Amino acid sequence: MASTTCSSRSSADWTAATFWPPHVFGGNTNQRDEGSSVAIDAAGDILVAGFLTQVGFQEDFLVLKVAGATGNELWRRTVNGTSDSSDAAAVVVVDTSGDVIAGGRLGDTGAGDDFAVVKLAGASGGEIWRRIVNSGNLNDDCRSLAVAANGDVLAAGVLTRRARPPSPT
């Protein structure tokens, strides 16, 4: 199980001391869990995007919110694609209303990994909406997110298509 140590203090205040104990994601195997992106909301709470490994599955897309002051878990949301394969969140951002947007990949039965963006309620972690892009049965992945001033979500990443066979000569 992986752990991460975060702090709500500015980098100027950092020392070698841990501000609160490391948080263990808590997948139910003794395999790898991973955080790949962090964001801080207006209240100073910390959002972590990544994956955790569950028994019977490979990895599940994970967004975790912890209290910035204490490190206590406030909520977690896992998202599992249709194939129970390697789902993972790669990036997380917070919009002006405090809601959380995470992007990454979800395994799709017979279609490889799909580009995925999920919006969650900042207070509870409840899913507000989900957008999936499948470019054609290969691996797609959201790698970057931004929120425009008007609230629109912008996403970028990888869409993989099969190369066309060469024309016969």
Domains and CATH numbers, the chain: 30-158 (2.130.10.10)
Q: Residue 11: what are its φ and ψ, rounded to 5°?
A: -60, -25
Q: Using CB atoms within 10 Å of the CB of residue 168, give its burial: 0 to 12 exposed, 13 to 18 middle, 19+ buried.
A: exposed
Could you give the CA distance from residue 18 to residue 25 in angstroms, rounded to a whole number?
Answer: 17
The rounded mean pLDDT for the chain is: 79
Q: pLDDT class for 9, splitting at 50, 70, 90?
A: very low
Model pLDDT, residue 7? 41
Among the residue ranges 13-27, 42-56, 86-100, the one predicted with the least confidence is 13-27
Identify the three-state secondary structure at position 12.
Answer: helix
Q: What is the pTM for the complete model shown?
A: 0.78
pLDDT confidence tier of residue 121, bands split at 50, 70 and 90 = very high
Query: By percentage, how much of the chain surpasses pLDDT 90?
Result: 38
- What is the C-alpha separation between 37 and 121, in angstroms, rounded? 18
Joined together, the tokens standing for residue 25 give: 């994601």
Asked which of 16-20, 82-86, 89-93 is least confident by mean pLDDT, the reply is 16-20
Identify the residue with better confidence: 47 or 2: 47
Sign of CA pseudo-dihedral 113, 119, 123, 126: negative
Res. 165: pLDDT tops 70: no
> What sign results for the dihedral spanned by CA atoms 93, 95, 98, 104?
negative
Give me the residue label for tokens 């001391």. Answer: 17
Mean pLDDT of 132-159: 88
How far, in Å, are 5, 96, 110, 119 from residue 153 at the CA level?
A: 28, 11, 28, 9
pLDDT surpasses 80 at 54:
no
Mean pLDDT value of segment 35-54: 89
Percent of the chain residues past pLDDT 70, beyond the cut: 71
Model pLDDT, residue 3? 40
Q: What is the reported pLDDT for 167?
A: 61
Q: How many CB atoms lie within 10 A of CB 16?
A: 4
Contact assessment for residue 63 and residue 125, using Cβ atoms and an 8 Å cutoff? yes
Cα distance between residue 109 and residue 72, in whole Å? 35
